[in-house]
Amino acid sequence: MEQIQEQIIRTEYAELMQKSYIDYAMSVIISRALPDVRDGLKPVQRRTLYDMYELGIRYDKPYRKCARIVGDTMGKYHPHGDSSIYEALVVMAQDFKKSMPLVDGHGNFGSIEGDGAAAMRYTEARLKKVAQEAFLNDLDKNVVDFVPNFDETEKEPSVLPVKVPNLLVNGADGIAVGMATSIPPHNLGEVIDAARALLKNPELTTRELMQYLPGPDFPTGGIVVNQDDLAAIYETGTGKIRIRGRVELEKAKGGKEKLVITEIPYPMIGANIGKFLNDIAALVESRKTTDIVDISNQSSKEGIRIVLELKKGADAENLKNMLYKKTRLEDTFGVNMLAVADGRPETLSLRQALEYSIEFQYELTTRKYRTLLSREQDKKEIQEGLIKACDVIDLIIEILRGSKDLKEARACLTEGNTGKIQFKSEKSRKQAAKLSFTERQASAILEMRLYKLIGLEVQALMKEHETTLKNIATYEDILENHKSMTRVIDRELAQFKKEYAAPRKTSIENAAEAVFEEKKVEETPVVFLMNRYGYAKVIDVPAYERNKEAADAESSYVIPCMNTDRICIFTNTGKMHSLKVLDLPYGKFRDKGAPIDNYSNYSSSAELLVGVCSMESLKERRLLFGTKTGMVKIVRGEEFVTANRTVAATRLAEGDELLQAALLEENEQVVLQSAQGCFLKMPLEEIPEKKKAAFGVRGMKLGEKDFLEAVYVYQSRTEMTITYKEKEISLNRLKTGARDTKGTKIRV
């Protein structure tokens, strides 16, 4: 048996990881996430469009099932899963995402409100006319390189011969490794105007180009409000565009008015529309505004229409500004014009993006007219041979009749070789010896049908020859004269603008910062109620007084406070969470309320609640803290007055927990109870006052494995009874002891 020799390759692990990760990153950047600056398409989009073209799913042909398109694309060109291909196909058909949709979808292709498209087995699609004419038309003219597909069984174009600056028209977004692209869509007509201007005058600056292309044109419309920032954004290729939705004021019945949102910011499309409606509802619930009486989303296929009905006398302008400030009706679009240029990712200015597109147009036009010139020259050669053949047709017929096979006839036509051919006369042989047709001409003559000898056919051949000569002259002029080629590109761009350009949807202006006057909340007394399940609500004082008995019985915490106050929640982790009373649901006594977790950083799943009070009541009073390990202290409440949502209320040793955070009054007694049944009653004077960052002092000596279980605070003249292991114990009757003693053992 032959010994297999083991070969161990030693390499630095860090170098191997670095190389592997760079290879992966570049694969994602170049082959998946970023568009090519030349055609503005990512590989999945390019492959899908090419596959539809190959399948013959043209704009003037019937729709075909998307599942067929996706399957064919995946099998031939894009082996990355069907969901990514179908998603790319759907997005190219959505007119609310793309300024110039490239796919004509038939069926449910999703909605602007975030509804997903139907499954690919239900939907159908075909190419749009613009996609076919501007993206795919010249593929048969050798204008782009074709490369092998993933398994080298097919060929696919490395880039599509796109005749318009699609990167700017449709924009792009994608997340690669360590980089992302976000290019806003623009108006087709304006992009073509800018490209034509740069074509005629290559010295134009970005700012001069902006006379033709003033800014983005989002398919959802809206208003760009930072016009002065656009020049810097287009110079650098990065920045933030502020965009607002369009709001109109309409009259309603009874002298009322309503705000109607007819256009939304581009970043709001999808689930953010629902979030926007929830944000408005939250403003109403939290009483930040009382001017809105009803919200309805009346959007349809015709467009966006979100109606806010206002109460009579409402300040509509102030409310509009509040929507801009407090909701996503004003949003930002982060621009990062990153694309693959010359095989590497590059952040482009507006001028650079147009330059790359124009350079690509010159390359496409050069290759196209070289191919056309070659074809016309081939036609010219054949036509000249046929014309010459018509003049000596009798001789050619004689050669054909005298030849034994095709090879002899061809040799005679091309080389004048008459050796084995039988002629009627020596004169014919001499004439035949002078023939010198080319191989291509000889093939055309041998394949020519007799009807071509009809007079009219000969005339048509002569006319066709003249046309061919004119075409050759035209093509040579285009290829040899830069100005002629520029005119051809300019003419094509003008034609696309004429046929496909649409009016601008997005307005561009300089708008002042949205400023609204927040109405000062009228300070009123209310009652905070929270049940044992952590559901909280706020009711007015009369409602509480009417239901006092039920409220006290059903609620774990009943705290009278002002509506401008804050509620403080102390937890066993030693934290204090605070929340505004105004944020809590305000309503009737029988309303359920909402979980306190929704309005604060408190988490009922991770923390236990050990004390609740209002911040106003803290200011002039003191707090008693007691922990599981028996540590106690008193802290002045003013230390906890803060606007922060969460602060450390006390310092805890490792493994310790806070058991009680109780507001203190005069003449109160404290009782500490351990898990093993020891009770220590002491006056408040025994417990020192400390800062909130202190540990405190030992309140009770605990036995081995014993720990504090409860801390009770009560008025010395008030009877207080607790139940300990089914035995009722009156705290008033306990013997008063000193701090840091064992207390009294209760036997059950």
Active site amino acids? 122
Please give the torsion angle defined by the CA atoms of residues 422, 424, 425 and 426, in that order, rounded to the nearest 10 degrees.
Answer: -10
Q: Which residues pair with 678 in a beta bridge?
A: 745
Distance from C-alpha of 350 to C-alpha of 37, rounded to nearest angstrom: 12
- In angstroms, rounded to a whole number, what is the distance separating the alpha carbons of residues 286 and 308? 17
Write out the E strands in 185-305: 223-224, 238-244, 246-251, 257-263, 292-297
* CA–CA gap between residue 682 and residue 656 (Å, rounded): 22
Collapsed DSSP state (helix, strand, coil) of residue 630: coil
Amino acid code (one letter) for 656: D
The full length of the chain comes to 748
Q: What Rg value do the Cα atoms of the chain yield, rounded?
A: 42
Instruction: Label residues 661-684 b or e (16+ Cβ within 10 Å = b).
Output: bbbbeeebbbbbbbeebbbbbbeb
d(CA 251, CA 270): 29
Decide if 582 contacts 627 (C-beta within 8 A): no
Provide the 3-class DSSP secondary structure of residue 522.
coil
Helix (H, G, I), strand (E, B) or coil at 586: strand
Report how far residue 609's alpha carbon sits from residue 684's, in angstroms, rounded to the nearest whole number.
23
DSSP H or E stretch at residue 104:
strand 103-106
Token digits for 42? 């990512």
Distance CA 276, CA 331 (A): 11
DSSP strand pairing (180-183 vs 344-347): unpaired
Strands 507-508 and 223-224, bridge-based pairing:
parallel
Distances (CA, A) of 427 to 86, 237, 404, 411: 73, 79, 20, 19
C-alpha closest to that of 400 among 358, 448, 335, 440: 448
Instruction: Give the Cα separation of 99 and 101 in Å (integer).
Output: 6
Q: Contact at 8 Å (CB) between 298 and 306? A: yes
Residue 282: left (phi > 0), alpha (psi -120 to 50), or beta? alpha
From first CA to last CA, the distance across the chain in angstroms is: 85
Task: Specify the 3-state DSSP secondary structure of 517.
Answer: coil
Tokens of 641: 């007055």
